[in-house]
Amino acid sequence: MNTEMSAEEIRRRGIWTRIKEGFGINELEEEFEDSETAVEQARRPMTLRLHSARVSHVSVRQANSFEDARVAADGLKDGRQQIINLEKTPQAISERIIDFLNGVTYALNGFVEKVGDRVYLFAPSNTVIDVPEDLRKNTPSLFEHQ
């Protein structure tokens, strides 16, 4: 019991309160109330802040060899878009590079768009490519992704 309490305060408290104090039940109730408060706080939804500006990487490459295609494929696997310029690449190597990067992009559920004469955009699946219908009719995609 609290020795600082006056006799009047002790009398005002009910018999049940005095019995619980005698057995130490009040301390257990306080601990229980504290644990209930912790549970209620844990149930509250947490606020999660996300950065509104998402950084996106695009690599532009002049592919002259099959090694350049491998580097572009590694970039696709890392989630970076690849713009490949094949204007100065010999036709035979150019076809192999396009076939290889098409396969990598397809395996990653990505997208391919022809953006110019012998210039292609290879994008991973987390990228959306918006192409107006009039441009899409003039430069069809290398493969349609469903």
Residue 85 CA to residue 60 CA, distance in Å, equals 8
Q: For the residues 1-23, what does the mean pLDDT come to?
A: 64
% the chain with pLDDT above 90: 34
Q: Are residues 18 and 65 in the same domain?
A: no
- Identify which of 15, 32, 18, 125 has the alpha carbon closest to the alpha carbon of residue 79: 125
Q: Are residues 132 and 62 in the same domain?
A: yes
Is residue 52 domain-resident? no
Q: Are residues 63 and 118 in the same domain?
A: yes
Q: Residue 143: pLDDT above 70?
A: no
How many structural domains compose the chain? 2
CA 39, chain centre distance (Å): 29
Expressed as residue numbers, the domain containing 101 is 58-138
Q: For the residues 62-91, what does the mean pLDDT come to?
A: 92
In the chain the first and final C-alpha atoms are separated, in Å, by 76
Mean pLDDT across the chain: 76
Q: Are residues 36 and 75 in the same domain?
A: no
Q: For the residues 121-146, what does the mean pLDDT come to?
A: 67
Q: Residue 144: pLDDT above 50?
A: no
Is residue 51 domain-resident? no
